[in-house]
Amino acid sequence: MQSPTASLPGDWWQIDTVTLPTSANGHSYMLVIIDIFTGFCITRALKTKDAETVAMTLWPILCDWGPPKVMQSDDGSEYCNKIVKHLASTFKMKWHISTPHSHQSVGGVERLNQTIQLCLFKMLQGAIGAWDVLLPYVTHLYNTTARSVTKSAPYALFFTRAANELVDPIELKDLHFDVDDWLQHQGQVLETVYPTIKETIQTARATAAKDFNKKHHIRLEPLPVGTWVLFRDEAATSKSMPKWTGPVQITEITPNGSYILANGIQRALSALKWIPTPEENPQDDTFRMDFIVTHKGKKNLPDFLQYKVRWHGYTKKDDTWVLPKDILDKKTIDEYWKSKAPKRLTKRKREEPKKSKRNIPPNDSASAIATHAAEDIPPRGRTRRKLNQQPALKDKIQNSLPG
């Protein structure tokens, strides 16, 4: 996967939608935008995340701040629709859809989501219903705090000046503006600051990518078109389902380095596993199936089981029997056996122990033991065994009782 590159503010933005608890004002979602070069972020609280709401929220943002050259998002329905596509066309910006199930490609905005949520929860101290009210202030604090990578505040890099400090207002006579100094500062930013920031970001990304590849054993060499692979099943919902599905061939490589498989699925290189070319498994003999109708054979001999399959686009008269090894998507087999399994019996609720009619003080254990001893009814558990084993202790308690 190739990380997005930017040389100036506004070159590349990333956008994401986060679900939060519904606030007192009815907001349930947070729209987050980050400029990946400076780290400057823009946030908005949303009541819904449908296509129309997202587009109407982006419209004033793009008009006020100006559109980026590239806007990157995931493949959510709030971004992959005709309304947002028309919005991108209006502002002449490229809308880049990241590889599905690849959080590394949108790591900047994903990390920002976590930071903003942590700040909100920390500052609200449990009053989460007011998160939408505090969101603009938290965003301002983030933009005016120096980042660990660039050692600069996103606000300062985005506007080429530091933000006004939260101090008492100054008098008008203290304000002074020198055009020559401002032009010299702008030239220094463009010639020195921005190139240095770009080099620093690239070095930090290279170090992070090296550490990630070392820990996760990522294959660095690209896979050519036509390679047979297994792909990770990101939709697996149970541990009994296989982690890898296939085999299938690679048919296309996208410009950002992800792979499109013969079944239409798109995956990053880290979600693929290379396998040797199957000897007798031509791609032309692969058909799509809808579901398994029934089976025959013994369950304890899975290799000898056969499944009657309903093929996609065909009727039941075209159903055929196939062996498990001929079914590439093992998830279909898992779903079939789940449908055949009996319903799980609900566990019977544990009954509350019956309350004793004796008047035993609940908070005074010594008095409780004494009352039990006086009535010659040993208490339960370890105390009962202790009193039986030590008669002297029992006599001492009885003698200490009044009367």
Among 266, 258, 261, 232, CA closest to 248: 261
Give dist(CA 91, CA 100) in Å, integer.
Answer: 25
Q: How far is CA 371 from CA 90, 151, 177, 396, 402, in A?
A: 85, 70, 87, 13, 11
Q: Which of 34-43, 128-137, 298-307 shows the lowest per-residue confidence on average (mean pLDDT)?
A: 298-307
Could you tell me if 139 and 119 are in contact, meaning their C-beta atoms sit under 8 angstroms apart?
Answer: no
Domain ranges of the chain: 12-164+174-179, 219-279, 286-349, 365-399
| Distance separating alpha carbons of residues 328 and 332, to the nearest angstrom | 9
pLDDT tens digits along 68-78: 999 988 888 89
- In terms of pLDDT, which residue wins out, 375 or 301? 301
Quick one: 12-164+174-179 is in which CATH superfamily? Ribonuclease H-like superfamily/Ribonuclease H (3.30.420.10)
Range 219-279 classified under CATH 1.10.287: no
pLDDT at 328 over 50: yes
> What pLDDT is attached to residue 8?
83
CATH 3.40.50.300 fits 286-349, yes or no: no
Helices (H) then strands (E): counts for the chain: 11, 13
The answer to whether 31 touches 54, Cβ cutoff 8 Å, is yes
Among all chains, which residue has been given the structure tokens 């009885």?
Answer: 398
User: Any idea how long the chain is?
Assistant: 403
Contacts of 328 (CB under 8 A, 6+ apart): 245, 246, 247, 248, 286
Q: Of the given ranges (15-29, 140-154, 204-218), which has the lowest mean pLDDT? A: 204-218
Average confidence (pLDDT) over 180-207? 69
337-359 average pLDDT score: 61
DSSP one-letter code for 193: I
Q: The whole model's pTM is what?
A: 0.56
Average pLDDT over residues 27-35: 92
